[in-house]
Amino acid sequence: MPRHGSPPRRRKRHSLAPITPRNASQKRSAPKAIRTSFFRRRMSKAHLNVFSSCDSGTPCGDVENPKIIGIDEAGRGCLAGPVVAGAVALPLKSNMLGLGDSKKIPPERREELAIAIRSSALAWGIGLAWPWEIDRLNILQATFRAMIKAARHCARVCPVPLSLSIDGSHIIPAPLFTTLPWQGPLPRQKAFIRGDANVPAISAASILAKTFRDKMMRTLARRYPDYGFERHKGYGTSEHLQALARYGPCRMHRMTFRKVRPEGMEQGSLLT
């Protein structure tokens, strides 16, 4: 009731579209959606085994100076377990000390270097080819596929142009890039004999591949305890051969390899 002598209080007129509690919650949901999208991108990169410092828009390379990705494998000559490929793109002025052939670095030092590589690399990735892929394709073709998978993770962070520096005497055949989802033009490639000892990016890839595979073989040893995978990592040591003779091969063995395969089974050519 208005006081005596004061003008009557006018009712406040609402707009045709008042802000209801539901509308207010919709307005507050926008920042949450942005945060959700941000963490989804972060989780996606974590799932791909990729660390990136290129997200700020800094180009990873240009046509004249493509980003170099070093690639190496671990476990190609083993009788059991997957072949693992590592791919690493290092900063142009990387001064990381201690890089070299992963097989000549003590295990404790390898683990320390692997942590440093994942922290400082522009991008890194891991690719695997399992024993049944090796038996179906042959070890060389399966290794190439693992290398493409590893390089593909780096390519998602550091787009074209790319240049692959591969340890060994072979580059990846161009037709294989069409068998896996590779986006963009095919990268340049160059093979380096003893590249794991002389090319820093290849050395870093070698360390990541070796440490990842060793950890995986220790895990597989708990599932297949009769073979001693945690000690020889699947290589053809006397202990491993004795276990094969006693227990026979398991699912992690490469059945087309000479010291594993049953009599009469032929292995495909390593070059086709």
Question: Could you please report the per-residue DSSP string of 56-77?
Answer: TS--S--SSSPEEEEEEEE-TT
* Tokens found for residue 144: 């190439």
Strand (E) or helix (H) holding 246:
helix 238-247
pTM exceeds 0.85, yes or no: no
CA angle 38, 41, 46 (to 5 degrees): 130
CB burial readout 105-127, b (16+ within 10 A) else e = beeeebeebbebbbebbbbbbbb
> Which pLDDT band, with edges at 50, 70 and 90, does 265 fall under?
low
Q: What is the dihedral of CA 146, 210, 242, 219, to 10 degrees?
A: -90
Digit-coded pLDDT (tens) for 236-264: 999 999 999 999 999 999 999 999 976 55
* Beta-strand runs (E) in the chain: 67-74, 83-89, 123-129, 162-167, 188-192
Digit-coded pLDDT (tens) for 110-119: 999 999 999 9
CATH class of 47-272: alpha beta
